[in-house]
Amino acid sequence: MTEIIGIRFKEVGKVYYFSPGNKQLSPGEKVIVETARGTECGEVVIGNRTVEDKEVVQPLKPILRIANADDYKRIRDNEAKEAEILKTFAKKIADHKLKMKPIDVEYTFDGSKILFYFSAENRVDFRELVKDLASVYRTRIELRQIGVRDEAKMLGGLGVCGRPFCCASFLGEFQPVSIKMAKEQSLSLNPTKISGTCGRLMCCLKYEQDSYEALLKITPKVGALVETPDGQGQVEEANLLTGILKVKLKKNPDAPAAPYKREDVKLLRDSKIKVNRDELAALKGLED
């Protein structure tokens, strides 16, 4: 077992493990640590606890110190600088006539680097822009092109549900979401119905997927051959949540499909849920 504390460097970002040493730390405290990017200030989100060795990438870096008054002042100063730098970033992009959208600026705690985040439809040659920014700020400059999901996470907003974006509220990392999930949840494959404001599949498709997968294991799928109390038939409609199946009986093919409870039928030959080529072509890009 290894003792760790969990630290987050952005409000809704990934949690990283560090070694607390002989310090007892509580969630909400600010600490100074050494990272691959240099000295950084992060917030403790997981207090002292022990985890399995396999959950930790050794060696864990130690806490340098608990943030003091000077550190808090530097944080405030950096945040003020970021707001001004973002304005300059937007102006320089316009000056160089580049097809890119400025999203955010991050000034590292120790002032050794400034990171500029932007979005663009295509790759952009920003070498001259980097030189221009470096001549202004006299420090290391790094430009990072981000995708639409990351843009939504940074900028925030309201989703179709009327609530703040999940990615900007509590999702530390994006979870993989697929069109197959929407299909398995019997959702309309209309892009406007299953995509978020970012134009990609809604993150919330992942939330109930485990439950749907469990129900799919015990529920005959559309096209399955089943034995009902009234004879054999083929499933034409299946409601996973209610467990009601609509089955067209072989002995009476011209009659409407009859409803049966999931537990009242016996599966003879199951079917598979597939996303066909036409559906994939229509939804191309939603999974990116």
Whether residue 60 sits in one domain with residue 36: yes
pLDDT at 55: 83
Please choose, from the candidates 202, 239, 203, the residue with its C-alpha nearest in 3D space to the C-alpha of residue 219.
239
Flag whether pLDDT at 278 surpasses 90: no
Domain residue limits at 251: 222-269
Cβ-count burial 120-134 (b if 16+ within 10 Å, e if not): eeeebebeebeebbe
Residue 20 is which amino acid? P
Flag whether pLDDT at 12 surpasses 90: no
| 166 belongs to a structural domain | no
Whether residue 45 sits in one domain with residue 96: no
Question: Which of 50, 67, 84 delimits the end of a domain?
Answer: 67
Torsions phi, psi for 147 (to 5 deg): -85, 180
Percent with pLDDT over 70 in the chain: 100
| 277 belongs to a structural domain | no
| 45 belongs to a structural domain | yes
Distance in angstroms (rounded) separating the CA atoms of residues 213 and 241: 11
Whether residue 62 sits in one domain with residue 78: no
Which neighbouring-strand residues pair with 266? 227
- Which long-range contacts link 83-87 to residues 24+ away (Cβ below 8 Å)? 85/114, 85/137
Whether residue 134 sits in one domain with residue 80: yes
| 44 belongs to a structural domain | yes
**What is the total count of domains within the chain?**
3
| 104 belongs to a structural domain | yes
Flag whether pLDDT at 78 surpasses 80: yes
Flag whether pLDDT at 288 surpasses 70: no
Q: What is the DSSP letter of 43?
A: E
Q: What is the CA radius of gyration of the chain?
A: 26
| 95 belongs to a structural domain | yes
Confidence band of 268 (pLDDT split at 50, 70, 90): very high
Q: 209-267, pLDDT tens digit by residue? A: 999 999 999 999 999 999 999 999 999 999 999 999 999 999 988 899 999 999 999 99
> Which residues 6+ apart lie within 8 Å of 211 measured at CB?
none
Distance in angstroms (rounded) separating the CA atoms of residues 14 and 207: 19
| 154 belongs to a structural domain | no
Which neighbouring-strand residues pair with 226? 233, 267
Whether residue 36 sits in one domain with residue 95: no
Confidence band of 284 (pLDDT split at 50, 70, 90): confident
Distance in angstroms (rounded) separating the CA atoms of residues 203 and 215: 21
Please choose, from the candidates 132, 131, 83, the residue with its C-alpha nearest in 3D space to the C-alpha of residue 107.
83
Whether residue 30 sits in one domain with residue 78: no
| 30 belongs to a structural domain | yes
Tabulate helix, strand, coil % of the chain (nearest 5): 30, 30, 40
3-class SS of residue 101: strand
Give me 21's structure tokens.
């040493």
Confidence band of 68 (pLDDT split at 50, 70, 90): very high
Indicate the pTM of the whole model.
0.77
Whether residue 94 sits in one domain with residue 61: no
> If you average pLDDT over residues 142-153, what whole number do you get?
93
Question: Which of 89, 117, 146 delimits the end of a domain?
Answer: 146
Whether residue 134 sits in one domain with residue 110: yes
Give me 188's structure tokens.
């309309």
CATH number of the domain where residue 113 is located? 3.30.300
Q: 178-192, pLDDT tens digit by residue? A: 898 999 998 888 888
Whether residue 141 sits in one domain with residue 109: yes
Question: Which of 52, 67, 82 delimits the end of a domain?
Answer: 67
CATH number of the domain where residue 234 is located? 2.30.30
Question: Are the C-beta atoms of 41 and 70 separated by less than 8 Å?
Answer: no
Strands 140-145 and 113-119: parallel
Whether residue 50 sits in one domain with residue 12: yes
Confidence band of 70 (pLDDT split at 50, 70, 90): very high
Average pLDDT, the chain: 90
> Which residues 6+ apart lie within 8 Å of 129 measured at CB?
92, 93, 96, 98, 143
Question: Are the C-beta atoms of 94 and 51 separated by less than 8 Å?
Answer: no
